[in-house]
Amino acid sequence: MDDDEWTVERHLKGKPAEIVALYNRFIELAEACGPFTYAVAKTAITLKGSRRGFTGASPGTRWLDGYIDLQRQVQDPRIRRSTPYTKRLFVNRFRVVSLDELDDEFGGWLAESYKVGQGEHITSPGTP
């Protein structure tokens, strides 16, 4: 592997089993929303819909950080920061440390975000 090339495997290499399990559960929840592609960079693993990226993850050594693009701000302990990205979108930055945090509610946020990745935020007037 080229030292400049970033892959999912490179992000997960040497990470504790608990972090790999968190990442795998995150991907499971995203896969339940529909097909997507990966854009892997040094800072994050981004999941892309047909129009744009909609969520991403950065596996650490003690937690899984990431973001979820939504048409609204989420108020939840898992969301560390929520900031406007465009007139219609907010970047909701999350941190999870246990599998139970990747629950149905989190999956619902990913389903909303998946619609953003398909471009539905362009035609829909507001929040779901």
Residue numbers of the domain that contains 91: 8-123
Residue 122's pLDDT is 81
Reported as a single tens digit per residue, the pLDDT across 83-104 is 998 888 999 999 999 999 999 9
Structural domain count of the chain: 1
φ/ψ of 53, rounded to 5, equals -70, 145
90 strand-pairing partners: 70, 84
2 is a domain residue? no
Query: With 60 as the cut, is the pLDDT of residue 126 above it?
Result: no
3 is a domain residue? no
The pTM (predicted TM-score) of the whole model is 0.91
User: What is the sign of the dihedral through the CA atoms of 37, 42, 116 and 94?
Assistant: positive
30 is a domain residue? yes
- CATH code: domain of residue 12: 3.30.1460
Reported as a single tens digit per residue, the pLDDT across 2-17 is 567 999 999 999 999 9
